[in-house]
Amino acid sequence: MIRLPTRPLTIACLLAGAIGLGAAAPRDPSYLAGLRKHALLTSSIPANGDENPYSLVVAPVSAGAIKQGDVLFDNFNNRKNLQGTGTTIMQYDPTAKTTRLFADVPANLAACPGGIGLTTAMTMLKSGWVIVGSMPSKDGTTRTLGRGCLIVLDSSGKVVKTITSPEIDGPWGNMAVIDRGTAATLFVSNIGFGMGAPGQPVRHKATILLLDLAIPAGQPPSVVSSTVIGGGFGAVSDAGAFAIGPTGLALGQDGTLYVSDAVANRVVAIKDAAIRTAGTGTGTGTGTGTIVTSGGMLKRPLALAMAPNGDLLATNALNGQVVEIDPRSGTQRGARWIDADAAQTPPGNGDLFGIAMKPDGSGFYYAQDDTNTLMEARR
C-alpha cells in the first residue's frame, strides 16, 4: 500500500544537495557535489506498451543501427505491468534527441528456458554485439519463474543466439565487462537458484559468474570458459520488487569487482576478479567478498557505476537517492536525491534501477520507474 508522507515534501528541498557523513574530507572532490541539474530525456515505453526500465548501456562504438554514445535501455514488464515479461530494448540518441525501438525479443523464445523478461544484465561489446539477460515469469511473479538465459543480438537488434548453462539461473545484475575486442570477460550475478513464490525465506545461493568469451571476426561471441567467482549471496522473491539479490557490478582499475549485496544492504569487493578460480577463498568461489561499506545512506543498493574520480555510485531501491562511496576507505561521501517523487514513502521508493556514466564524465544516465523514463543528472 502506498502512503502519502505526513509532512509536505518539495522537489526543491529534496534536491538541495548531497548529504555528508561528517567524516574528514577525502582526497578527491565529491563527484555528486558537482551535479546540479536533472533532466527527463525520453519515455521508455515502446508501441507494444512495455514498461519498467531496468538496464542502461552507453554504446562504446558505432555499429549497425547504433551510434557511439547512444543509450540502450530495456523493459522488464509488459503492457499489463507484469514483471518478468518485458521484451523490448529501446535506443536513445543524445545528439539528435530521438528514441527508437532497438529490439523486440520474441516472448516465447524457445532457446531461453521460461521465456523472456529482460533484466539489468545488459552490455554492448566493442565488436557490436549486444548481450542481455532474461529472468522470465509467466504471471508476473516468481511462482512461474524460469531459469532464463543470456541473449546475443546483432547491432541491428536481431537475436542471433542464446547462452544457457547450469550456472546461469536468473541472470540479474548489471554486467561488468573487460572488452579486448576479439575476446571479452563478462561478470553477471545469477539470483534464481531455488527461488520460490513470494513469502519464502532468503536463500543464500546467488552467485557472481565470470564468462570468458571468444569473438571471431564476423561471428557472435561464444563461451570459452565460465567460473563462479562469488557465491552465497542472499536472494529472495518479493511481491513488490519481484526479486531482491546482488544487482550492481562495477570494476575498479585494479581489477577489483564491486558488488551491491542488496539483501545485506552493503557493497562488497572481490579482489582480482578476472583471474579468480572456482574454490578460491571460502564457500563457492570467493564467498561474498570483503565488505566495503554497509548501512548508513545505503537503502538496499541496486545498480553500481564507477565515477571519474574513482568513487562508486550506487542507486537505492528504498528511496530516490544515489550514494557516493570511496571504495578505498569505505566512506559514504554523500547522497543526492535524483527521484523525489513524494507519492512514495520515502520519496522515490522503488523507482530507481539502472545507472550509466556519460562518456565525457559530465554526469550519468539513470532509469526512473515511476515515470517510465530515461533521465540525466549533469553539472
Which residue pairs from 349-353 have beta carbons closer than 8 angstroms and sit at least 24 positions apart in sequence?
349/317, 349/318, 349/319, 349/320, 350/240, 350/241, 350/317, 350/318, 351/320, 352/302, 352/303, 352/315, 352/316, 352/317, 352/320, 352/322, 353/53, 353/54, 353/55, 353/120, 353/302, 353/303, 353/315
Residue 2 has pLDDT above 80, yes or no: no
Higher-pLDDT residue of 278 and 341 is 341
Tens of pLDDT, residues 52-105: 999 999 999 999 999 999 999 999 999 999 999 999 999 999 999 999 999 999
Residue 25 has pLDDT above 60, yes or no: no
- 115: its cell numbers: 521465456
For residues 291 and 369, give the distance between their C-alpha atoms in angstroms, rounded to a whole number: 29
- 219: its cell numbers: 561471428
Tens of pLDDT, residues 115-164: 999 999 999 999 999 999 999 999 999 999 999 999 999 999 999 999 99
Percent of residues, the chain, with pLDDT higher than 70: 91
Instruction: Residue 262: name the closest of 335, 326, 314 by CA.
Output: 314
Res 277: pLDDT: 73
Tens of pLDDT, residues 264-322: 999 999 999 999 875 443 334 569 999 999 999 999 999 999 999 999 999 999 999 99
Residue 7 has pLDDT above 80, yes or no: no
Instruction: Residue 322: name the closest of 256, 292, 366 by CA.
Output: 366
Res 202: pLDDT: 96
For residues 324 and 120, give the distance between their C-alpha atoms in angstroms, rounded to a whole number: 20
- 221: its cell numbers: 561471441
Instruction: Residue 100: name the closest of 71, 76, 121, 122 by CA.
Output: 71
Res 200: pLDDT: 93
Tens of pLDDT, residues 347-364: 999 999 999 999 999 999
In three state form, how does the secondary structure of the chain look? CCCCCCCCCCHHHHCCCCCCCCCCCCCCCCCHHHCCEEEEEEECCCCCCCEEEEEEEECCCCECCECCCCEEEEEEECCCCCECCCCEEEEEECCCCEEEEEEECCCCCCCCCCCCCEEEEEEECCCCCEEEEECCCCCCCHHHCCCCEEEEECCCCCEEEEECCCCCCCECCCCEEEECCCEEEEEEEECCCCCCCCCCCCEEEEEEEEEEEECCCCCCCEEEEEEEEEEEEEEEEECCCEEECCCCEEECCCCCEEEEECCCCEEEEECCHHHCCCCCCCCCECCCCEEEEECCCCCCEEEEEECCCCCEEEEECCCCEEEEECCCCCCEEEEEECCCCCCCCCCCCCCEEEEEECCCCCEEEEEECCCCEEEEEEC
Residue 254 has pLDDT above 70, yes or no: yes
Partnered with residue 301 across adjacent β-strands are 316
**Confidence at 18, pLDDT banded by 50, 70, 90:** very low
Question: What are phi and psi for residue 337, nearest 5 degrees?
Answer: -75, 125
Res 286: pLDDT: 64
Q: For the residues 230-237, what does the mean pLDDT come to?
A: 97
Q: In what order do the strands lie in the sheet with 249-251?
A: 249-251, 257-261, 266-270, 290-294
- 230: its cell numbers: 562469488
Partnered with residue 351 across adjacent β-strands are none
Taking every pair of Cα atoms in the chain, the longest distance, rounded to a whole number of angstroms, is 60
Q: How far is CA 151 from the centre of its chain?
A: 16
For residues 273 and 283, give the distance between their C-alpha atoms in angstroms, rounded to a whole number: 16
For residues 305 and 232, give the distance between their C-alpha atoms in angstroms, rounded to a whole number: 23
For residues 241 and 317, give the distance between their C-alpha atoms in angstroms, rounded to a whole number: 9
**Confidence at 28, pLDDT banded by 50, 70, 90:** confident
Higher-pLDDT residue of 324 and 5 is 324
Tens of pLDDT, residues 188-232: 999 999 998 999 999 999 999 999 999 999 999 999 999 999 999
Res 285: pLDDT: 52
- Distance from the first to the final alpha carbon of the chain: 36
- 139: its cell numbers: 504471471
Res 173: pLDDT: 92
Res 320: pLDDT: 97
Residue 24 has pLDDT above 50, yes or no: no
What domains can be seen in the chain, in order of their start residue?
A: 19-378 (2.120.10.30)
